[in-house]
A = this chain, B = another copy of it.
Amino acid sequence: MAKDTKERILEAALEMFSQNGYAGTNVRELSASLGLVKSGVYKHYESKEAIWNALLDQMIAYYADHFGSADHLPPVPDSLEALTRLTMRMANVTVHDEKIAMTRKVLTLEQFRDPRARELATKHFLTGLTDMFTRIFTGMTEKGLLKKDDPAMLAFAYTAPISALIHLCDREPEKTDEAMAQIEAFSRHFIKVYGEAGHE
């Protein structure tokens, strides 16, 4: 029945680690949030560190599954307006999906302590988005939607500001709406600058 307790522990750990960090989380509270007593957790994981490692394993696997392979690339937008729509859809998901948001927070808090967290943090915050949009912009340039330029540089210039605003949402959730509007404004500004005339 409670066969998925092991899984529920990871969910609770993600929640607590993302709020208080690894060092700031204690096994008592973690167990209590699942309605069991702390020794019960040790039936599923041999230590607090084992929970952390299992959680990281899961986050790494999840990232590889959902963002790592070229299969899951969104279709290349066939208009400049579609680029903004795609961007807003992705931004909304990544900010409002609690699991993804908590993953970002955990990586933020543990990036200086755990080498695997560090590596995954760079993917989440920088290279992942850049790589993805490098492909998208390559496709859009081939379609004649964007002026000819280095797609990797364009992707970096496009995704880094958006990433900064996503971090702002994590830090100050009450500014989420404002940040989303800024992302949209930035996307349109980007299009005005780099979009090929005739496709506005």
Contacts and interface: CB of A to CB of B under 8 A. Distances in A.
A157 B186 contact: yes
Secondary structure class of chain A's binding surface, majority of residues: helix
A110 B190 CA distance: 33
Interface string A30-51: 0000000000000000000000
B172 A125 contact: no
B111 A112 contact: no
A19 B113 CA distance: 7
Interface in A154-200: 156-157, 160-161, 163-164, 167-168, 170-172, 182, 185-186, 189-190, 193-194
Max chain B Cβ within 10 angstroms of own Cβ: one of A108, A111, A163, A164: A164
Contacts of A93: none
Nearest to A26: B23
13 contacts: A19-B112, A20-B23, A21-B109, A22-B24, A23-B23, A24-B113, A105-B112, A111-B171, A122-B168, A122-B171, A156-B161, A160-B161, A163-B164
